């Protein structure tokens, strides 16, 4: 009998503690989706950029930086904006050079030596993909992707692309391939938004 009373007292204390420190259990509220996965099939290796419905996204204040360090380019793939200065830095004690070719045409953009702890600045004026290498050190290579906005991806060899977590709203989608750019409005809504190029 006495044990039952103690048990009841403990149970009362326990319940009181529960109610004072933890909210009552409730079912989680359903969270409305506000982002979409934007997918599509476009020409192979096309540059796909989502832009605001009107105007261009703000230009970053800082230059983009492709560094040469430990006989590597860092980052291996750099996204830069059209009109944004790109600093090609040499951050080590050995001389390098920077050779940049436009990927589609193979045409040379520039080829300069980069002395230790110096930099060369170039501003790309057109959307494109660029192959970067150092002629002195085999295997030192990188890619620069130049696009009009930060929401950019490159379609695969099969033309497929996917951009997850894109906020619902009105955009323009800009697709660059074979030296041309196709641009069209895109309404992003629902779990998945399919891009269909109309030309």
Point out which residues bind Cu ion (CB under 5 A): 96, 134, 136-137, 140
From the CB of 187, what's the least distance to Cu ion, in Å? Answer: 47
From the CB of 108, what's the least distance to Cu ion, in Å? Answer: 17
CB of 101 or CB of 136, closer to Cu ion: 136
Judging by beta carbons within 10 Å of its beta carbon (0-12, 13-18, 19+), is residue 68 exposed, middle or buried?
buried
CB of 57 or CB of 113, closer to Cu ion: 113
Residues facing residue 61 across a β-bridge? none
CB of 113 or CB of 159, closer to Cu ion: 113
H or E element in which residue 10 lies: helix 2-21
From the CB of 136, what's the least distance to Cu ion, in Å? Answer: 4
Is-contact 78 84, C-beta < 8 A?
A: no
CB of 56 or CB of 115, closer to Cu ion: 115
Is-contact 85 63, C-beta < 8 A?
A: yes
From the CB of 57, what's the least distance to Cu ion, in Å? Answer: 33
| C-alpha–C-alpha distance, residues 55 and 132, integer Å | 30
Among 168, 157, 108, 148, smallest CA distance to 132 is for 108
| C-alpha–C-alpha distance, residues 82 and 60, integer Å | 11
Which residues are CB-neighbours of 190 under 8 A, at least 6 positions away?
33, 36
From the CB of 70, what's the least distance to Cu ion, in Å? Answer: 10
CB of 22 or CB of 138, closer to Cu ion: 138
């Amino acid at each position: 009998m006495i044990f039952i009373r103690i048990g009841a007292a403990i149970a009362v204390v326990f319940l009181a503690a529960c109610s004072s420190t933890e909210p009552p259990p409730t079912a989680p509220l359903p969270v409305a989706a506000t982002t979409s996965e934007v997918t599509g099939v476009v020409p192979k290796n096309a540059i796909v950029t989502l832009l605001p419905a009107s105007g261009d996204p703000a230009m970053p204040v800082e230059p983009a930086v492709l560094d040469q360090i430990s006989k590597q380019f860092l980052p291996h793939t750099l996204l830069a904006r059209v009109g944004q200065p790109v600093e090609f830095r040499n951050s080590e004690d050995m001389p390098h050079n920077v050779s940049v070719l436009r990927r589609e045409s193979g045409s040379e953009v520039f080829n300069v030596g980069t002395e230790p702890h110096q930099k060369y600045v170039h501003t790309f004026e057109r959307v494109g993909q660029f192959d970067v290498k150092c002629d002195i050190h085999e295997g030192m290579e990188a890619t620069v992707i130049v696009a009009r906005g930060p929401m950019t991806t490159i379609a695969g060899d099969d033309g497929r692309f996917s951009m997850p977590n894109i906020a619902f709203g009105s955009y323009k989608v800009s697709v660059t391939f074979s030296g041309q750019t196709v641009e069209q409005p895109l309404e992003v809504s629902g779990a998945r938004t399919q891009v269909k190029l109309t030309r």
